[in-house]
């Protein structure tokens, strides 16, 4: 434990550098501990369209007891299936980088201008599209495919109420056969050195 | 097809920029086509240790016919299970960046020096470890967990011989509940604009 704290000090709080420092000292057990976040949960997959689309998702909770309940398993399965169908690019609004936001805005603006609308109308079209942007690309903001009246974050909130533990989507990956790109979305947790 | 070629010209061969260019023109169908690689295959998952470790892997072949054979499915399942157990960090040797290689070498050197060995011996230890490095971190170089006498690349080669089509591991992701990092390994295919 002391080694982890010293390593984080040496690395000025940079976790990756701290792990390198610990490994250099031969303290690989401590290095392993430093990569653990205090969380439980489950990794689940969903394979769609005869093996052409696949999703891997990690959902965290506070205890392994909750992670093993049918309620939790159902939630994780629903989220994995939703990601396969709805193709989100990020977990939360906060995960969208300013660069990605500006790139999308720029694309919508060019589309609006190309459609031949006057500048004032074009600008309104862009504003309208950007209002819907988060709902289209962020998992937590998307309407749940099995019940479009609630968002994924509301689906999770309902389970939190039922199970009495905090629950959060940690990360997901989505591959489609033949596509150049793949989606890998990760939320950065707070690091706890203990 | 012409739109794709023009977009790639405009973007000087940068695929992402080409897609942005096409989307700006409202040519989203062409943008979708530009992201397709001419390949078939399957995305498969493997969940280990009661939902604590999960793997998603895409393996490509040349026809959907081969992708649907039991032989191909068995191969993809074996590779996914192997990744869960052996925790590779890259698909191929060529995917290891020079920075990653140097970082590992630096860690081994510091370990050897910390062990108190004379510099000449320490240097030999580092050389020995780096010879094993690729075998430890690259999926294709790792000994297959179900038959340690062959490597994963030899396992694939045997299936290529049997099925008569080229087969390659395109990408994989590996999540472990509670770990800070995740492994996402991607091989970049040649882009074909057609």
How high is the pLDDT of residue B29? 60
CA distance A192 to chain B (A): 11
CA distance B89 to chain A (A): 15
The sign one gets for the Cα dihedral A79, A85, A87, A88 is negative
Q: Are residues A60 and B111, on separate chains, in Cβ contact within 8 Å?
A: no
Pick the residue of A43, A55, A185 with the most B CBs within 10 A to test the interface with B by mutation: A43
How high is the pLDDT of residue B192? 41
Write out chain B residues lying below 8 Å of A46, CB-based: 45
Give me the residue from A170, A180, A191 closest to B35, CB to CB: A180
Write out chain B residues lying below 8 Å of A44, CB-based: 47, 51, 54
| Least confident segment among A135-139, B67-71, B105-109 | B105-109
Q: H or E stretch including B22?
A: helix B15-24
Cα–Cα dist A59/A41, whole Å: 6
Write out chain B residues lying below 8 Å of A170, CB-based: 175
Q: Read off the pLDDT of residues A4-56 as tens digits, 9 standing for 90 and up.
A: 677 777 777 777 777 777 777 666 665 555 555 558 999 999 999 889 999 99
CA distance B154 to chain A (A): 23
Across B70-76, average pLDDT: 97
Instruction: Band the pLDDT of B91: cuts 50, 70, 90.
Output: very high
CA distance A15 to chain B (A): 9
Instruction: State the complex-level ipTM.
Output: 0.78
What are the DSSP E strand ranges found in chain B? 40-48, 53-61, 143-144, 147-151, 168-176, 183-186
Query: Which residues fall within 8 angstroms of residue B145, CB to CB, at 6 or more apart?
Result: B81, B82, B85, B86
Q: Are residues A51 and B43, on separate chains, in Cβ contact within 8 Å?
A: yes
How high is the pLDDT of residue A49? 83
Size of interface A-B (CB pairs under 8 A): 145
Q: If you measure CA to CA, which chain B residue comes closest to A100?
A: B20
Cα–Cα dist A4/A11, whole Å: 10
Tell me the two tokens of residue A153.
Answer: 């974050």
> Is it the case that residue B137 has pLDDT exceeding 60?
yes
CA angle, B27 then A86 then A51, to 5°: 95
> Is it the case that residue B70 has pLDDT exceeding 90?
yes
Pick the residue of B28, B175, B181 with the most A CBs within 10 A to test the interface with A by mutation: B175
Q: What is the DSSP string of A136-158?
A: HHBGGGSEETTEEEEEHHHHHHH
Q: Are residues B56 and A56, on separate chains, in Cβ contact within 8 Å?
A: yes
> What's the predicted TM-score (pTM) here?
0.78
Q: Are residues B110 and A37, on separate chains, in Cβ contact within 8 Å?
A: no
């Amino acid at each position: 434990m002391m080694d982890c704290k010293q390593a984080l000090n040496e690395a000025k709080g940079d976790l990756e550098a701290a792990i390198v420092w610990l490994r250099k000292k031969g303290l690989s057990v401590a290095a392993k501990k430093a990569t653990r976040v205090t969380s439980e949960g489950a990794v689940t997959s969903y394979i769609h369209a005869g093996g052409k689309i696949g999703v891997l998702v990690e959902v965290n909770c506070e205890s392994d007891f909750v992670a093993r309940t049918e309620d939790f398993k159902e939630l994780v399965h629903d989220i994995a299936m939703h990601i396969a169908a709805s193709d989100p690019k990020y977990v939360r609004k906060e995960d969208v980088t300013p660069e990605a936001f500006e790139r999308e805005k720029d694309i919508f603006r060019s589309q609006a201008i190309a459609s031949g609308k006057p500048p004032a109308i074009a600008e309104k079209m862009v504003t309208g599209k950007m209002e819907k942007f988060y709902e289209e690309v962020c998992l937590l903001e998307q309407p749940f495919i099995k019940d479009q009246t609630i968002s994924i974050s509301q689906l999770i909130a309902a389970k939190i109420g039922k199970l009495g533990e905090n629950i959060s989507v940690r990360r997901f990956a989505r591959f489609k056969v033949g596509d150049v790109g793949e989606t890998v979305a990760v939320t950065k947790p707070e690091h706890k050195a203990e």
